[in-house]
Amino acid sequence: MVIKRKFSSKYEAAWSDADELLLCLDTGSWRTKRPVVDKEKCNYCGLCALYCPPQCMINMKDYFTPNLNFCKGCGICAKECPRGAITMVAEGEFANEGTKR
Amino acid sequence: MKEIRFHGRGGQGAVLAARMLANAFVVEGKYVASFPMYGFERRGAPVVAFTRLDDKPVREKTQIYNPDCLVVIDPGLVNLPTLFSGLKPEGILILNCPRLVEKQPNKNLKLAGVVNATQIAVEEIGRDIPNTCLLGAFAATTGWVDLKSVLSGLADYFSGDLLRRNIRSTERGFHEVKIIQW
Amino acid sequence: MKARKGEVKVITGNAAAAYGAMLCRPDVVASYPITPQTEVVEQLSRFHADGILDAEMVEVEGENSAMNIVAAATIAGGRAFTATSSWGLVFMYDALLQAAGFRAPVVMANVNRETPGILAVSSGQQDMVSTRDSGWIQLVVENCQEILDSIIMAFRLAEDIEIQLPVMVNYDGFYLSYLAEAVEIPAREDVDQFLAPLKLQPARAKLDPGRPLGCGTHGILVEFMEYRYKHCAALERTKQKLDEIDREFGEFFGRSYSGQIEEYRTEDAEIVVLTSGSAAGTARTVVDAKRAEGMKVGLIKLRMFRPFPRERLTQAIKGKKAVGVVDRSVCFGWNCGPIYMELKALSPDIGSITMMSFIDGLANMDIAIPHIERVVDDVYAASQGKPYQEVTWIPLEE
């Protein structure tokens, strides 16, 4: 007979549990430009991480780098960086890199 | 019947591109059905448009799972894991990209037309709206429609100076597309 | 006498609805935007701004006001049009019921989208289903040409002196609303001619300044029951009236849709698929493919949901071995699809026949070709006596 799929949600209605997972959108695919951090210029002040609206700057202990799964390319980090260490580069420049994330 | 799938982002004119192409096919006496599918209606969010063309009325109203041709309006989308899903053998790709595609991105892809539509659009229209340029590239690469049919369809969507600029952008797409075969 | 060939344009379903309305020269248009209907409002505004549509365009702050305005306009003797979807349809619920109770011949395009309860900006027929007891006539269509043609027929139907009921023309959001196809747009003079018979009929009751006639006053006791009875009787007359109007439309414009239902390759069919909307278009290709393999399968496309085409459906399905109903909505309380549940009510008329319910296409999920192939295979297996599942939620079983 028919094999029924297991339900993917434990809730009876459309609840969103912030402790587990609200809604994971692939917002990284919305990006048309990505921030590129010049590690030499970066002084690890953390302002980019503070200003980033979806909070997706990753702390690399010596510099910051964007989480490309969620970065939408808004450019606020580049605008706020006091050292001008961040440049917004068109996604097309990375087209031949394959599906690297 | 041919099935074409457009991939773009909100704001790039992917939906309009699919419609303008539909116009061109109708001018040549073909039957066409074209519709977009998007999740969030905002700039930057991925948009897909499905266009079917045939010599008899198109009746199915479903999404396209096995395209004959892909039209990719945003260069970054080439990295999208699902882009080539279902592509038929002997598949064709029309791509807006500043650089050529070196290696064959998918084993079913046999023909690609690559053009820097963004640059041409900025030069001819003054804005990064590469859709009409890609329609010219489509006509040249696939041979499924005449350039003049594509151009005649534009008048339904533009007028005056904007129409002239888009005509130039389309013509440049037609003449400047680089065709790669595998 | 035949209409001249219209101009062919590549337009979306929403634009087709706007063209249909514009061609019928409404006196009043009041509409509020909502995805996936917004383009209807935009296109009508464009027609008005370009001087093509000479109507009173009332800008409203919400759908409830929109329905009140258009119903009132028709009660004053005018022709009125509006459009909405899901949440908007629900927001105008009391005015919707009033329009029907007042017997106000409004024509409304309803772009099918899932109703509140689970937030979705996506297609589904739940909005049409959740208003099936409003007393409105409900049509549901398959492609852009049919949208335009059905709106013209809707005015002819709504304003007919024997009907006088509001008509909702339903079409799938996203799959039809945004679908661009080549559509033949009739000449306005030809539409005038098609609607002209209405002017030869006796005038309906209307609000007239200076004349002491009120509308929507109380129905006390027996009168209330009289009005309900008359309303139901009008809905009964609607069935044959739609068939007549559709036939006349076909003779004049060259396009006919067979009225309440369309039967596709059902004459010698052993099993049939019953569905509505854009899914019917897809089902045709599956029926053709299965026929080419030798299977005797047919398609019945439901075009009129209210009133339910009892007689024609009975006649179409009687004698078949099995029927599979594909619903793009759910029937709460019966755990099956709504069209299925209504078809089951015809069992005494149809006789004993295997019936199966398939629920698919909710919230923009695609009723893809493999899904309909599965429907046909399951119905065929059931017709051969194999054990079957009465209700299948197709996407949950993949």
Beta-bridged to residue A59, according to DSSP, are A64
Looking at residue B19, which CATH number applies to its domain? 3.40.920.10
Closest CA–CA distance from residue A96 to any residue of chain B (Å): 7
Beta-bridged to residue C12, according to DSSP, are C180
User: Which band of pLDDT confidence, cut at 50, 70 and 90, is reported for residue A1?
Assistant: very low
Beta carbons of C4 and C179 less than 8 angstroms apart: no
Number of folded domains that form chain B = 1
Question: How, if at all, do strands B69-72 and B91-96 pair?
Answer: parallel
Nearest to B75 among A29, A95, A98 (CB): A95
Read off the tokens for C300. 């019945």
Question: Out of B94-103, C141-150, C162-171, which region has the weakest mean confidence (pLDDT)?
Answer: B94-103
The predicted pLDDT at position B177 comes to 95
Nearest to A4 among C119, C387, C397 (CB): C397
The predicted pLDDT at position A20 comes to 74
Beta-bridged to residue C356, according to DSSP, are C324
CB contact under 8 Å between A13 and C118, yes or no, is: yes
Query: What CATH number should be reported for the domain whose range is C261-397?
Result: 3.40.50.920
- Structurally, at CATH architecture level, domain C7-253 sits in 3-Layer(aba) Sandwich (3.40)
Strands lying side by side in the sheet with B2-9: B178-181, B109-115, B91-96, B69-72, B2-9, B46-54, B31-38, C180-185, C7-12
The predicted pLDDT at position A99 comes to 44
Chain A residues near residue B84 by CB distance under 8 angstroms? none
Rounded to the nearest 5 degrees, what angle is found at the Cα of B19, between the Cα atoms of B18 and B25? 90
Closest CA–CA distance from residue C134 to any residue of chain A (Å): 27
User: Does position C148 have pLDDT exceeding 80, yes or no?
Assistant: yes
Number of folded domains that form chain A = 1
Interface of A with B (CB under 8 A): 29-32, 72-73, 90-100
Question: How, if at all, do strands A64-66 and C297-302 pair?
Answer: unpaired
Chain C residues 365-394 with CB within 8 Å of chain A: 387, 389, 392
User: Does position C391 have pLDDT exceeding 70, yes or no?
Assistant: yes
Question: Best residue in B31, B62, B65 to probe C by mutation, most C CBs within 10 Å?
Answer: B62
CB contact under 8 Å between B76 and A97, yes or no, is: no
Longest dimension (CA), chain C: 71
Average of per-residue pLDDT across A20-47: 85
Chain C residues near residue B65 by CB distance under 8 angstroms? 368
Tell me how far CA of residue C397 lies from CA of A5, C74, C88, in angstroms. 6, 48, 32
Q: Is residue A60 part of a domain?
A: yes
CA B26/CA B146 separation, integer angstroms: 12
Helix (H, G, I), strand (E, B), or coil: what is residue C301? strand
Looking at residue A72, which CATH number applies to its domain? 3.30.70.20
CA C175/CA B38 separation, integer angstroms: 11
Question: Out of A69-73, C303-307, C381-385, which region has the weakest mean confidence (pLDDT)?
Answer: A69-73
The reply to whether C396 touches chain A by the CB within 8 Å rule is yes
CB contact under 8 Å between B44 and A73, yes or no, is: yes
The reply to whether B33 touches chain C by the CB within 8 Å rule is yes
The predicted pLDDT at position A101 comes to 44
Across chain A, the runs of DSSP E, i.e. the strands, are 33-37, 57-59, 64-66, 86-90
Chain C residues 12-31 with CB within 8 Å of chain A: none
Model pLDDT for residues C261-299, shown as the tens digit of each residue: 999 999 999 999 999 999 999 999 999 999 999 999 999
The predicted pLDDT at position A26 comes to 74
The predicted pLDDT at position A57 comes to 95
Nearest to C369 among B18, B58, B62 (CB): B62
Average of per-residue pLDDT across C212-225: 84
Chain C residues 103-122 with CB within 8 Å of chain A: 118-119
The reply to whether B60 touches chain C by the CB within 8 Å rule is yes
**Residue C233 corresponds to which amino acid?**
A
Model pLDDT for residues C331-343, shown as the tens digit of each residue: 999 999 999 999 9
Which residue does chain A place closest to B45, by CA atoms?
A: A30
The predicted pLDDT at position A74 comes to 92
Average of per-residue pLDDT across B24-35: 96
The reply to whether C285 touches chain B by the CB within 8 Å rule is yes
User: Which band of pLDDT confidence, cut at 50, 70 and 90, is reported for residue A100?
Assistant: very low
User: Does position A97 have pLDDT exceeding 70, yes or no?
Assistant: no
Model pLDDT for residues C343-362, shown as the tens digit of each residue: 999 999 999 899 999 999 99
Range of B152's domain? Answer: 2-181
Read off the tokens for C24. 């019928």
Beta-bridged to residue B177, according to DSSP, are none
Q: How is chain C split into domains, by residue range? A: 7-253, 261-397
DSSP state of C68: H
Mean pLDDT of chain C: 96
Chains in contact with A, where contact means 3 or more Cβ–Cβ distances below 8 Å, are: B, C
Average of per-residue pLDDT across A71-86: 95
Q: Which of the two residues, B9 and C155, has the higher pLDDT score?
A: C155
The reply to whether C120 touches chain B by the CB within 8 Å rule is no
Model pLDDT for residues B97-155, shown as the tens digit of each residue: 988 887 888 899 999 999 999 999 999 998 888 999 999 999 999 999 999 999 998 98
The predicted pLDDT at position A2 comes to 54
DSSP state of C331: B
Question: Best residue in A23, A24, A25, A29 to probe B by mutation, most B CBs within 10 Å?
Answer: A29
Read off the tokens for C165. 């009921």
Range of A48's domain? Answer: 27-94
Name the CA radius of gyration of chain A, rounded: 18
Q: Which of C328, C224, C345, C336 has the alpha carbon at shortest distance from C276?
A: C328
Q: Is residue A100 part of a domain?
A: no
Rounded to the nearest 5 degrees, what angle is found at the Cα of C97, between the Cα atoms of C96 and C98? 90
User: Which band of pLDDT confidence, cut at 50, 70 and 90, is reported for residue C374?
Assistant: very high
User: Which band of pLDDT confidence, cut at 50, 70 and 90, is reported for residue A95?
Assistant: low
Interface of B with A (CB under 8 A): 9, 44-46, 74-81, 97-99, 101-102, 118
- Percent of chain A beyond pLDDT 70? 86
Chains in contact with B, where contact means 3 or more Cβ–Cβ distances below 8 Å, are: A, C
Mean pLDDT of chain A: 85
Model pLDDT for residues C22-74, shown as the tens digit of each residue: 999 999 999 999 999 999 999 999 999 999 999 999 999 999 999 999 999 99
CB contact under 8 Å between A3 and C389, yes or no, is: no
Q: Which of C303, C306, C346 has the alpha carbon at shortest distance from C323?
A: C346
Q: Is residue A81 part of a domain?
A: yes
The predicted pLDDT at position A96 comes to 61
